[in-house]
């Protein structure tokens, strides 16, 4: 019974001093890992970023003062470059230099791209204002010049054709009046009778037609010229009427009358 309840103590050797470090080693390794992790977190922590500068977008109203707006953006870019150089110096003192430099470079690129976009928007607004001013100037020049339209051109051409037709009718009327005057003058002259023959006419004189005198020939010539002038005036009149009926196209030329 005594042996069952209280087993006999075996001869176990007491723990030696060499076995104590074996039990302490796992605890020391865990403590070192935790300390190293804390150190890694401290060195890998991002650099304290400066508060972002207020972004002032140069709109269309500020585009008139483009020089001042551009100078402001360039000054902000200069401050950004100086801050980036300071961040690189701080990263050189950290444990993980490359990770710190990458993070600083990414932040620098983001801020610089924002400033470049703002500068591009300002330039675009200035170009739009210049284009709008040029369009207004061209429109004003067109209004002052008063470019005629197609209807005005057609009206001017019709007026020129009408003036030409009037001149042709006046010229034909003058020709007809001159011919009538000449015919009247010739008709008012005394007609000389035929001279008496000193010798008997030949046997075949009865078969020949009577010879016209110079006065009769002049009258006939005057009548012929007057008739031609009237026909020419009538031809000009009909040609003008045809041209007025078909102003859109070219009117066909009428045949000239025969001269009598």
Separation between Cα atoms, residue 217 and residue 186, nearest integer Å: 10
Separation between Cα atoms, residue 195 and residue 189, nearest integer Å: 18
State residue 193's pLDDT score: 53
State residue 48's pLDDT score: 42
Query: What's the half-sphere exposure (Cβ side, CA atoms, 13 Å) at 7?
Result: 3
State how far the alpha carbon of 255 is from the alpha carbons of 74, 221, 238, 245, 247, in Å: 85, 23, 11, 18, 20
User: Per-residue confidence of the chain (260 residues) as pLDDT tens digits?
Assistant: 444 444 444 444 444 444 444 444 444 343 433 333 333 333 444 444 444 444 454 555 555 577 888 899 999 999 999 999 999 999 999 888 899 999 999 999 999 999 999 999 988 988 998 999 999 999 988 888 765 667 778 888 899 999 988 898 888 888 888 888 777 776 666 555 555 555 555 555 555 555 656 777 888 888 888 888 888 888 888 888 887 777 655 555 556 556 54
Separation between Cα atoms, residue 43 and residue 32, nearest integer Å: 16
pTM equals: 0.35
């Amino acid at each position: 019974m005594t042996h069952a309840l209280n087993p006999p103590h075996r001869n176990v050797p007491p723990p030696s001093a060499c076995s104590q470090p074996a039990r302490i080693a796992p605890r020391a390794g865990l403590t070192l890992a935790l300390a190293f992790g804390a150190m890694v977190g401290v060195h890998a922590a991002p650099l304290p970023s400066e508060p972002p500068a207020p972004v002032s977008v140069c709109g269309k109203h500020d585009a008139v003062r483009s020089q001042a707006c551009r100078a402001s953006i360039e000054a902000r870019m200069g401050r950004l470059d100086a801050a980036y150089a300071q961040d690189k110096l701080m990263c050189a003192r950290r444990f993980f230099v490359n990770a710190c430099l990458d993070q600083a470079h990414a932040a620098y690129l983001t801020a610089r791209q924002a400033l470049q976009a703002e500068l591009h928007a300002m330039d675009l607004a200035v170009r739009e204002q210049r284009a709008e001013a040029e369009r207004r100037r061209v429109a004003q020049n067109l209004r002052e010049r008063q470019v005629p339209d197609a209807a005005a051109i057609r009206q001017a051409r019709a007026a020129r054709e009408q003036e030409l037709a009037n001149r042709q009718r006046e010229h034909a009327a003058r020709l007809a009046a001159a011919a009538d005057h000449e015919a009247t003058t010739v008709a008012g002259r005394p007609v000389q009778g035929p001279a008496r023959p000193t010798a008997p006419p030949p046997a075949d004189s009865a078969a020949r037609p009577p010879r016209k005198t110079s006065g009769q020939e002049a009258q006939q010539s005057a009548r012929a010229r007057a008739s031609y002038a009237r026909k020419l005036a009538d031809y000009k009149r009909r040609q003008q009427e045809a041209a007025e009926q078909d102003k859109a196209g070219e009117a066909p030329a009428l045949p000239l009358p025969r001269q009598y």
